[in-house]
Amino acid sequence: NAGVTQTPKFQVLKTGQSMTLQCAQDMNHEYMSWYRQDPGMGLRLIHYSVGAGITDQGEVPNGYNVSRSTTEDFPLRLLSAAPSQTSVYFCASSSFGGVGTQYFGPGTRLTVL
């Protein structure tokens, strides 16, 4: 049972470059979300989706785009990376329309130079 998977595990970008962080889940969960984790800040919600074709902004959405074309996948796009986006990114999913427990992926550590 794979659960929530994320790729890549590590990434280094230069300022202005773009990239996509991949997230997939095999639990048929409706709700998926992206968080960033910074020292002393806790996990902060970037974007979330309550089902295929539906996305919404979280607490810190600026500089990030998402789309949800399938139930399984929820990629996070950085269009023009900035040093402030250096962080660890976690994807999570849950059933019951987001009311239930969230299960997290292993994370992607991103460094923007």
Amino acid identity of residue 5, one-letter, is T
Work out the number of other CB atoms within 10 angstroms of the CB of residue 8.
11
Give the separation between CA 110 and CA 48, rounded to whole angstroms.
Answer: 20
Q: Cα separations (Å) of 104 from 19, 32, 81?
A: 21, 10, 24
The region that residue 16 occupies, defined by phi over 0 for left and psi between -120 and 50 for alpha, beta otherwise, is: left
Pick 41 or 82: Cβ nearer another protein: 41
Smallest separation, CB 112 to another protein (Å): 19
The mark string for 5-44 relative to another protein (x by CB under 8 A, - otherwise) is ----------------------------x-x----xxxxx
For the chain, the farthest-separated pair of C-alpha atoms sits apart, in whole angstroms, at: 39
Q: Cβ of residue 101: shortest distance to another protein, in angstroms?
A: 5
Among 59, 69, 70, 83, binds another protein (CB under 8 A): 59
Contact between 100 and another protein (CB under 8 A)? yes
Judged by the rule CB under 8 A, the positions of this chain that interact with another protein are 4, 33, 35, 40-45, 48, 50, 56-59, 90, 98-107
